[in-house]
Amino acid sequence: MDREVFQEQFGLLGTSQEMRHVIDKIMQVAKTDISVLLQGESGVGKDVTARAIHSLSERKRNNLIIVNCGAIPEGIIESELFGHEKGAFTGANESREGYFEKANGGTIFLDEIGDTPKNVQVKLLRVLENGEFFRVGSSKVQTTDVRVIAATNLNLWKLVQDGSFREDLYYRLDTVQIHLPALRERQEDVVPIFRKFVQEFSAKYDSVFKGFSDEARELLISYRWPGNIRELKNVAEQLVVLEKSQFIDVERLQKYLKGRQRQGSADNLPMIPNGEEKKSDSGNDFERRDRELVYRALVELRTDISDVKKMLANFMYSAMSSKDIKALPPALQSNMDESDVSEMKINLNEHATLGMQKMPGEDTEDENEVQESEQSVLVNFFGGDEIPSIEATEQFLIKQALDKYDGNRRKASETLGISERTLYRKLDQYGLA
């Protein structure tokens, strides 16, 4: 089957080199029975890819069973996967087939495989190796013939190293690995995919889409799309329905973007167009656009640094106001008496209000002194010779604040000088939730 026909048929959109590589690999392995591990962020299309593999395989006339392992409670996941006998547990009023039995002769897609409990992982390994399993409450061996496709947005090897995922199961699943690239890694695909979604939704809702400005197009490309294809599709649908018959400029588009352009999330920096994108424009145009994007990134990075500084100062001031010096790192705990605490309170108060008020090009008469002061505070705070990254500093402060208040997020956010909503977002961003 031709690559373009295949992509159109199964909805695997994009003409970038990254997507061509993915499509070629899918077409190579689809007709075999080999296990496939799909890796990629949420929203990149792992379920669509699994359907495409099954539809191109020799098993396409049999069932494709999709299982979201992360959505099934730990107490019943074994029963859901392998079935149970009547009376096996309270509420088991009759025997029931599990997903592996229902998928016999076909394909089973195990999404979010990294969330599978360890007691179930060993049983998955047995099914993968010889097709054998036991129903819950039975000692009779059952057999099934299935092709397994697994998917995860986690780093499975890191889970193996942490001890939360079996190494033997990892190697059994990782026979063929297909990495599905994030949308920000294939910027040239953004606009064509967006246009396709807009056409589909315009026909569906009998709406007219009048197009978007050059600035809006640049924003579509530079935005990092943390929700990937799923988010892009959602934005396209909202624009067609809520901005019906309106020409989309950058201001209208920004209303529907949930990342940096709206909230300043540290994981959504604008992206600089790649070389292929630049070739389509004149030198002056892309140089001007690059300057604007770089300037925007610097301004937003400045905001992040300012937030971290305020968080640092608020936390340290709060800790010393309550004389809870144990909450601070060892570098600040030694040889601190009442006068030290009082002096640092004054310094921290001043430090919390310093921020980074000056924009590029403004007068920077005392900038060096301010930077030296900030560097001194951070070095003393972490007790090392190198300045930690913004992310490391934020994570440290958040953990310290939550420990200090026994997990009370309201008090922790007040201490850090941020809103509860921002705290929740950062917990999710750093995987601390």
How high is the mean pLDDT in each 10-residue block of the chain (433 residues)? 82 90 93 94 94 94 94 91 89 90 96 93 94 92 95 93 94 93 94 93 89 91 93 94 86 81 41 43 52 54 54 56 47 46 50 46 49 51 60 82 82 79 76 70
Q: What is the pLDDT of residue 359?
A: 45
Q: What is the pLDDT of residue 265?
A: 42
Q: What is the pLDDT of residue 305?
A: 57
CB 316 within 8 A of CB 348: yes
- Residue 415's contacts (CB-CB under 8 Å, 6 or more residues apart) are 314, 315, 318, 319, 401, 404, 405
Q: Do strands 132-134 and 141-143 pair parallel, antiparallel, or not at all (unpaired)? A: antiparallel
The position carrying tokens 């059994």 is: 172
Residue 197, both tokens: 């979604």
- Nearest CA to 212 out of 226, 223, 228 is that of 223
d(CA 132, CA 134) in angstroms, rounded, equals 7
d(CA 260, CA 240) in angstroms, rounded, equals 23
The position carrying tokens 């201490």 is: 415
Q: What are phi and psi of 248, to 5 degrees?
A: -90, 110
188-279: CATH, from 3.40.50.1820, 2.40.50.100, 3.30.70.20, 1.10.8.60: 1.10.8.60
Sheet holding 107-111, edge to edge: 64-68, 107-111, 147-152, 36-39, 176-179
For residue 226, the one-letter residue type is: P
Residue ranges of the domains in the chain?
Answer: 3-181, 188-279, 302-429
- Nearest CA to 123 out of 109, 133, 111 is that of 133
- pTM of this prediction exceeds 0.75: no
Domain 3-181 in CATH 3.20.20.105: no
Terminal C-alpha separation, the chain: 45
Q: What is the pLDDT of residue 400?
A: 84
